[in-house]
Chain A
Amino acid sequence: MKGVNKSFGDVTIIPSVDLEIDDGEFVVFVGPSGCGKSTLLRLIAGLEDVTGGRIEIDGVDVSDVPPAKRGLSMVFQSYALYPHMSVRSNIGFGLKMAGAPSEVIRQKVEKAAATLNLTSYLDRKPRQLSGGQRQRVAIGRAIVREPKAFLFDEPLSNLDAALRVQMRLEIAQLHESLTTTMIYVTHDQVEAMTLADKIVVLNAGNIEQAGSPLELYHHPVNLFVAGFIGSPKMNFLTTDVRATGPDGVTVVLPGGRDVRVPVAAGTLQPGAKATLGVRPEHLKTGQQGELAGDVIVVERLGGETYLYIRPPEGALFVVQADGNNSTRVHDRIAVGIDPETCHLFDAEGKALPRLRRHPLADTLEPAQRPN
């Protein structure tokens, strides 16, 4: 996509987007509601026309090509199955439109149905199927056309939590076996982190950052991405810069203690304000620490415990503790910070680059790359 922008009348949804997606990649567009991720997907599909810019598939400009001819398949959030047709006809519809002979259609439909465990449902109508089965039919309909890329528009949003996890696995396995490019839109950052080769974080139509999941986790480029990736959200503390140097920037925390964060200072000067970001899972409870406060809420999930702490100065923050942690509400505890896990953001919200890259941030697991 080069310089793609999209407006509906006077409202500009997407100011300008430049993005490249490689063959075989699993790309996830993620962002809050209204950020333009679905619009971007529909522009790629051809269901909307670009107001400006170009979209190329395999080097060919397809900005004026109708969706039917782009060689893509889409799986919709509401499944969009044809209610008056059987599962078999639903899956085979695309092939029928392409004029394939009925014997070929029959074979391909049965093969796709077998891959998705739908063989016993082939003659049912969509209204006789459960949500998960319907979603599989929608995926089957997309697979059978052997497209250049699959487009998923929040496909799991209508499913219950347990089914969502199961379907997520199935989609991941599908990508493994088919190795086709997949472009996936979701507002759920867990789906993004677990499925993607590359995550594109969108905010108000702009790409905030694009990179591998761990790259976004360890090296977010701004406050927005840092706050979006990771659940519970990263804690943000307002701090003052005390000193800068080759080993990092020393900041004063609310409460007076210091911490030296290993980031490059750039143009940051002592006396400036900076935001310190640290994830709940990187804070440690203990006898002493740089932060302290009263526990106001304890959430026990069994495997882990979340402690919500109100310090004497500054905003509320969250600490992830072990499942067996026995802290109770109204306890006063100290929380320790490991500077290696901290992020520092300047007054505009931009992240200061870390002095050392996280080892996993730049390598992809070998299984995720097609041969």
Chain B
Amino acid sequence: MARAHSVQRRIVSTAAAWVVGFILFFPILWMGITSFKTELEAFSTPPNFLFFDWTLENFAIVQERSNYLKFAGNSVILSLGSTLVGLIFAVPAAWAMAFSPGKRTKDLLMWMLSTKMMPPVGALIPIYLIFKDAGLLDSRGGLIIVLFLLNLPIIVWMLFTYFKEIPGEILEAARMDGATLWREIVYVLTPMAVPGIASTLLLNVILAWNEAFWTLNLTTTEAAPLTAFIASYSSPEGLFWAKLSAASTMAVAPILVLGWFSQRQLVRGLTFGAVK
């Protein structure tokens, strides 16, 4: 009796999970489908789901009108750049917090995370002015600095939870074997923490890629990433839903693909500290 129950329950919960998943994914799906419609079709009510004339004209127009590759290139540079710089600062910080904690380490971590609680718009004007004076507006370097600082608390926190999982005795063994601090990190800590570092890297690439607020406000033409690319299509000239959808799809596609291939890492990364 118990077995029959659980098979039934499993079918029901799997079906429910699929439904929920579909509902959550639906906006992206719709956007993808709309990008293959003509503008007229995109407007029609009731909306047509699958049976319309599929066309690639939107993608062609979008690529002609604005240089997708340039924006995409900027997105890549900004995401990867800010993540790598973040790692360089975060690894030593997380190491110190995990392996030689002081009395105030927990407070420090909380303080770092608390900076994420402030609405970013509060810091917009000061940073804009500083960037203007430093000539960093619309520059990739400037944006990398902002993005890396924005995500640093998250990188440190994730690395901290991973490093805490590593038994301190293994690092002590390395010390007894004659490793200096640097070699301890390079030869022992990093290889052991690779899954954790990979998850952190991926999550941060995604966060940086999707960051719209700062990228829109601090760039104009040179350093603008794909977020600005999408925004340029919601213009006062009129509603170009099909083209907007096409542009959005082109902007979102790379990160969707990346996320798809690394989903196991991501799930592990996000849930790691939660279950001991």
A104 to B170: give the CA distance in the assembly, Å: 25
For A72, what are the chain B residues with a Cβ–Cβ distance below 8 Å? 176
Query: In the complex, which of the residues A47, A74, A82, A141 has the most CB atoms of chain B within 10 Å of its own CB atom?
Result: A82
A285 to B183: give the CA distance in the assembly, Å: 65
A336 in the interface, Cβ–Cβ < 8 Å?
A: no
Q: Which of A90-98, A248-256, A323-331 faces chain B?
A: A90-98
B33 in the interface, Cβ–Cβ < 8 Å?
A: no
Asked whether, in the complex, the Cβ of A82 is within 8 Å of the Cβ of B175, the reply is: no
A47-B172, A82-B174, A84-B191 in contact; A97/B167 too (CB < 8 A)? no
Asked whether, in the complex, the Cβ of A93 is within 8 Å of the Cβ of B169, the reply is: no
Query: In the complex, which of the residues A81, A94, A145 has the most CB atoms of chain B within 10 Å of its own CB atom?
Result: A94
Asked whether, in the complex, the Cβ of B178 is within 8 Å of the Cβ of A94, the reply is: yes
Asked whether, in the complex, the Cβ of A97 is within 8 Å of the Cβ of B183, the reply is: yes
For A81, what are the chain B residues with a Cβ–Cβ distance below 8 Å? 170, 173
Q: Quick one: CB contact mask for A116-149 with B, threshold 8 Å, 1 for yes?
A: 0000000000000000000000000100010000
For B180, what are the chain A residues with a Cβ–Cβ distance below 8 Å? 68
Q: How far is the CB of B194 from chain A (nearest CB, A)?
A: 8
Q: Quick one: CB contact mask for A32-70 with B, threshold 8 Å, 1 for yes?
A: 000000000000010100000000000000000011110
B212 in the interface, Cβ–Cβ < 8 Å?
A: no
A69 to B188: give the CA distance in the assembly, Å: 19
B56 in the interface, Cβ–Cβ < 8 Å?
A: no
A189 in the interface, Cβ–Cβ < 8 Å?
A: no
A73 to B173: give the CA distance in the assembly, Å: 9
A83 to B176: give the CA distance in the assembly, Å: 17
Asked whether, in the complex, the Cβ of A76 is within 8 Å of the Cβ of B179, the reply is: no
A98 to B174: give the CA distance in the assembly, Å: 12
- Interface secondary structure of B, over-half rule: helix
A78 in the interface, Cβ–Cβ < 8 Å?
A: yes
A80 in the interface, Cβ–Cβ < 8 Å?
A: yes
Asked whether, in the complex, the Cβ of A98 is within 8 Å of the Cβ of B169, the reply is: no
Asked whether, in the complex, the Cβ of A84 is within 8 Å of the Cβ of B192, the reply is: yes
Q: How far is the CB of B196 from chain A (nearest CB, A)?
A: 13
For B237, what are the chain A residues with a Cβ–Cβ distance below 8 Å? none
For A73, what are the chain B residues with a Cβ–Cβ distance below 8 Å? 176
Output the nearest chain A residue to B168 by Cβ-Cβ distance: A80
Size of the B side of the interface (Cβ < 8 Å), in residues, is 17
Output the nearest chain B residue to A138 by Cβ-Cβ distance: B173
Q: How far is the CB of A74 from chain B (nearest CB, A)?
A: 5
Q: How far is the CB of A94 from chain B (nearest CB, A)?
A: 4
A82-B188, A83-B192, A97-B183 in contact; A145/B177 too (CB < 8 A)? yes
Query: In the complex, which of the residues B170, B172, B177, B183 has the most CB atoms of chain A within 10 Å of its own CB atom?
Result: B177
Asked whether, in the complex, the Cβ of A82 is within 8 Å of the Cβ of B178, the reply is: no
Q: How far is the CB of A189 from chain B (nearest CB, A)?
A: 25
Q: Which of A68, A76, A141 contacts B169 (CB 8 A)?
A: A76
Asked whether, in the complex, the Cβ of A68 is within 8 Å of the Cβ of B176, the reply is: yes
Q: Quick one: CB contact mask for B182-209 with A, threshold 8 Å, 1 for yes?
A: 0100011001100000000000000000
For A78, what are the chain B residues with a Cβ–Cβ distance below 8 Å? 167, 169
Q: Which of A45, A80, A84, A97 contacts B178 (CB 8 A)?
A: A97
Output the nearest chain A residue to B173 by Cβ-Cβ distance: A80
A141 to B191: give the CA distance in the assembly, Å: 19
For B187, what are the chain A residues with a Cβ–Cβ distance below 8 Å? 93
Asked whether, in the complex, the Cβ of B172 is within 8 Å of the Cβ of A97, the reply is: no
A141 to B175: give the CA distance in the assembly, Å: 13
Q: How far is the CB of B106 from chain A (nearest CB, A)?
A: 16
Q: Quick one: CB contact mask for B220-235 with A, threshold 8 Å, 1 for yes?
A: 0000000000000000
A69 to B191: give the CA distance in the assembly, Å: 24
Asked whether, in the complex, the Cβ of A141 is within 8 Å of the Cβ of B192, the reply is: no
Q: Which of B167, B169, B176 contacts A67 (CB 8 A)?
A: B176
Asked whether, in the complex, the Cβ of A67 is within 8 Å of the Cβ of B170, the reply is: no
For B192, what are the chain A residues with a Cβ–Cβ distance below 8 Å? 82-84
Asked whether, in the complex, the Cβ of B173 is within 8 Å of the Cβ of A74, the reply is: yes
Q: How far is the CB of A76 from chain B (nearest CB, A)?
A: 5
Query: In the complex, which of the residues B174, B176, B178, B183 has the most CB atoms of chain A within 10 Å of its own CB atom?
Result: B176
A83-B192, A84-B191, A84-B192 in contact; A98/B170 too (CB < 8 A)? no
Asked whether, in the complex, the Cβ of B176 is within 8 Å of the Cβ of A97, the reply is: no
- Of residues 89 through 109 on chain A, the ones whose CB sits less than 8 Å from some CB of chain B are 93-94, 97-98
Asked whether, in the complex, the Cβ of A67 is within 8 Å of the Cβ of B173, the reply is: no
Asked whether, in the complex, the Cβ of B177 is within 8 Å of the Cβ of A94, the reply is: yes
Asked whether, in the complex, the Cβ of A74 is within 8 Å of the Cβ of B178, the reply is: no
A80-B169, A82-B188 in contact; A74/B176 too (CB < 8 A)? yes
A66 to B191: give the CA distance in the assembly, Å: 24
A145 to B180: give the CA distance in the assembly, Å: 16
A98 to B178: give the CA distance in the assembly, Å: 7
A80 to B184: give the CA distance in the assembly, Å: 14
Output the nearest chain A residue to B188 by Cβ-Cβ distance: A82
A94 to B179: give the CA distance in the assembly, Å: 8
Q: Which of A66, A68, A80, A94 contacts B167 (CB 8 A)?
A: A80
Further pairs besides A83-B170, A93-B187: 11, Cβ < 8 Å: A47-B172, A67-B172, A68-B176, A68-B178, A68-B179, A74-B173, A76-B172, A80-B167, A80-B169, A82-B188, A97-B177
Query: When A and B form their complex, which 8 residue pairs have the shortest distance between CB atoms, in order from nearest?
Result: A94-B177, A97-B178, A80-B173, A80-B169, A68-B178, A84-B191, A74-B176, A80-B170
Can you list 21 pairs linking A and B with CB atoms under 8 Å apart?
A47-B172, A47-B175, A66-B175, A68-B175, A68-B176, A72-B176, A73-B176, A74-B176, A80-B167, A80-B169, A80-B170, A80-B172, A81-B170, A81-B173, A82-B173, A82-B192, A83-B170, A94-B178, A97-B178, A97-B183, A145-B177
